[in-house]
Amino acid sequence: MGFSLVAAAAIICVSIVMAIEIIVGTTIPTMTNVHDSLDEMRDRAIDQIQTDINITSVTSEVNGSDHDINVTLENIGSISLETKYFNILINGTDAKFTCSSSYLHPENEVYFNVSSLESTGPRRLKIITDNGISDYYDFTLS
């Protein structure tokens, strides 16, 4: 009876150590990932608060039967923005564009060129930054 009690206690202790190792081995990395995610979320929220853009003008040029538009965008926020991550929507459709600069620094302007717009009529332009801040501009192609 004495040996079986010691063997049972040893088996239980080894099982408890193994269970603690498994729990700690999965919990600590998970907590670290959650902490890193919260840090990234906080940084994105701060960037969104400090980001603001303003479409100052839109001009159009006739290019054969199509139209090219030139958009002037001003950064009135305090975050430098990378223009390759911008999206330009015209009447809700994603438009391909070229930009005069890779970065839009605070209090500066960049120029976007969208080419080969078909037909004429009223249009609604929306520019969206990489962190979700956007601005609208209504114009008419004639």
CA 95 to the chain's CA centroid: 18
Residue 131: both structure tokens together: 């962190």
Mean pLDDT of the chain: 90
Q: Would you state the pLDDT for residue 71?
A: 95
Q: Would you state the pLDDT for residue 22?
A: 87
Contact by Cβ (8 Å): 33, 55: no
Tell me the per-residue pLDDT of 123-141, one tens digit each, with 9 for 90 and over.
Answer: 999 999 998 999 999 998 8
Residue 22: both structure tokens together: 């498994």
Lowest mean pLDDT among 4-8, 66-70, 88-92, 122-126: 4-8
Residue 1: pLDDT above 80? no
Q: Would you state the pLDDT for residue 95?
A: 92
Residue 45: pLDDT above 80? yes
Residue 135: both structure tokens together: 């601005």
Q: Would you state the pLDDT for residue 58?
A: 93
Q: Look up residue 29 and give its amino acid.
A: P
What's the rounded Cα separation, in Å, for the pair 106 and 53? 9
Count CB neighbours of 75 within 10 A: 21
26-42 mean pLDDT: 89
Delimit the domains of the chain by residue range. Answer: 1-49, 52-141
Q: Which residue has the higher pLDDT, 26 or 95?
A: 95
pTM for the model stands at 0.75
CATH architecture of 52-141: Sandwich (2.60)
